Amino acid sequence: MKTWWKTAPAAALAAVAAHDLLQRKHAILRNFPVVGHARFWLESIGPELRQYIVAGNDEERPFSRDQRRWVSSR
**Using an 8 Å Cβ cutoff, are 36 and 26 in contact?**
yes
Residue 65 has pLDDT above 80, yes or no: no
pLDDT more than 70, % of the chain: 82
CA 71 to chain centre: 16
d(CA 63, CA 17) in angstroms, rounded, equals: 32
pTM of the complete model:
0.56
Mean pLDDT of 17-44: 89
Q: Where are the domains of the chain?
A: 4-73
DSSP 13-53: HHHHHHHHHH-SS-HHHHHSTTHHHHHHHHHHTHHHHHTTS
Residue scoring higher pLDDT (38 or 60): 38
